[in-house]
Amino acid sequence: MYEIKRLENGLENIDGFYFGGVNSGFKKEGNDLGFIRSSEPVDISSVFTSNKFQAAPIRHFLKKRQNFRTNFILLNSKNANAMTGEAGINDIDEIFKNLSKNINLVNPVMSSTGVIGYRLKKEKIISAFDKFDFDSRDSNGVVGAIMTTDSFKKEIAVSVKFDDKKEFKIAAICKGAGMINPSLATMLCFILTDANISKPDMDELLKEACESSFNAVSVDGDTSTNDTVMLLTSRKSGVYDKEAFKEALKLITKELALMLVKDGEGATKVVEFNISGALNLKEAEHAAKALSNSLLVKTAIFGEDPNWGRIASTIGASGVECDEDKLEIYYDDVLVYDKFHKELDEKRELAAHQVMKKPSYTISCNLNVGDAQFSAYGCDLGHKYVSINADYRS
């Protein structure tokens, strides 16, 4: 048995790490350059974008030998360092060469978000290093350094107790918005823990947690050039329980993923698209994501129109095994389409419309052809989205 408790603040809860951020002149105000470092080199697990054009910082990471330990992550916003070729990778090495004048570095790692196709302004970054307070433990400061179109800071921390007195903690920060179409919205997430977890368990549990969280708010294989999730452990607590860690990590990543959806650029509603009774998990996931990514479904959600025909047609077009004589569609608990083709009467239409007025609800589709289930999360598409994305260069 174990107990997971939400903690105040963010990364400050984890012993063995230091973090903070500064303004290096790329943003008019607020931090744009940050770091997370550990007192000693630590194990790091990571999940990266499936985009073929992986950004330079990711390629820089992947050039290292497997299972290396690191003591430093450098973070920046306003420039993704993507589509910059070998030169972009060399820039990172040069930056770290200069940073090593300020602090001892072991396999340093960089993570970037911002505009694609421009070289980093190295001098500006390097000249900001003197401003770093390497002994700071300022979770807010480092979150700020990676924020782009985010409208709020995303951090979370939990304590996990088991076997009566044993306790470890996990904390994370995250950036990302624009989940209305997740395909190009860069998502960065850094998770710190003091649990005595092994490297194989870190790899396994991080991958598993990402599947049902970040991956559920994103569309098949459609990720930005820079998407990154990292897990680092100081092992300072000296204790660990696999089941408890697994649950806590899932809880944290799921909550952060929902924050990303809620912060969808211009979004007003968060909807869970639940597919059940699918032939297999792959088909359930495919259908759920087809719904969360459909323009016409998104605009119907914005317009609060219980137009289930768009839901049905999107499922049919997704290619999954389905049958109009078996399908059922619900808006929360209001049945809007049943397998007997009973037309939506005024009473049920009004009830469905009431559900759609809520800021958050569930659209459930039971395909009734199998046992598999998957939930994807999405939001509406309104005028604010068009305004933001027609102007903003990200």
Q: Is the dihedral of CA 44, 49, 51, 56 positive or negative?
A: negative
By the rule CB under 8 A, 347 interacts with a copy of itself: no
Residue 49: active-site member: no
Judge contact between 193 and 201, C-beta under 8 A: no
Q: CB of residue 48 vs a copy of itself: minimum separation in angstroms?
A: 12
Confirm if 356 and 298 have CB atoms less than 8 A apart: no
Cα–Cα distance for residue pair 357/89, rounded to 1 Å: 48
The least distance separating a copy of itself from the CB of residue 111, rounded to whole angstroms, comes to 17
- By CB under 8 A, name the one of 236, 262, 286, 310 that touches a copy of itself: 310
Q: Residue 366 CB, nearest distance to a copy of itself (Å)?
A: 15
Beta bridge partners of 272: 362, 377
Gap between the Cα atoms of 62 and 52, Å rounded: 14
Percent helix, strand, coil in the chain (nearest 5)?
A: 35, 25, 40
Residue closer to a copy of itself by CB (options 111, 314) is 314
Residue partners of 137: CB distance under 8 A and separation at least 6: 11, 12, 17, 18, 19, 20
Contact map string, positions 85 to 124, toward a copy of itself, x by CB under 8 A = x-xx--------------------------xxxxx-----
359 binds a copy of itself (CB under 8 A): no
Q: Which is nearer to a copy of itself, 317 or 350 (CB)?
A: 317
Which candidate in 186, 193, 253, 314 is catalytic? Answer: 186
Q: Please state whether beta strands 154-162 and 228-233 pair in parallel, antiparallel, or not at all (unpaired).
A: unpaired
**50 within 8 A of 81, measured Cβ to Cβ:** no
Residue 325 lies near a copy of itself (rule: CB under 8 A): yes
**Would you say 308 and 336 are in contact if contact means Cβ atoms under 8 Å apart?**
yes
Size of the site for a copy of itself (CB under 8 A): 68
Residue 149 lies near a copy of itself (rule: CB under 8 A): no
* Least separation in angstroms between CB 209 and a copy of itself: 22
Interacting residues with a copy of itself (CB under 8 A): 50-53, 80, 82-85, 87-88, 115-119, 178, 180-181, 183-184, 221-225, 294-296, 299-300, 302-303, 305, 307-310, 312-325, 337, 340-341, 343-344, 381-383, 385-387, 389-391, 393-394
Active site amino acids: 186
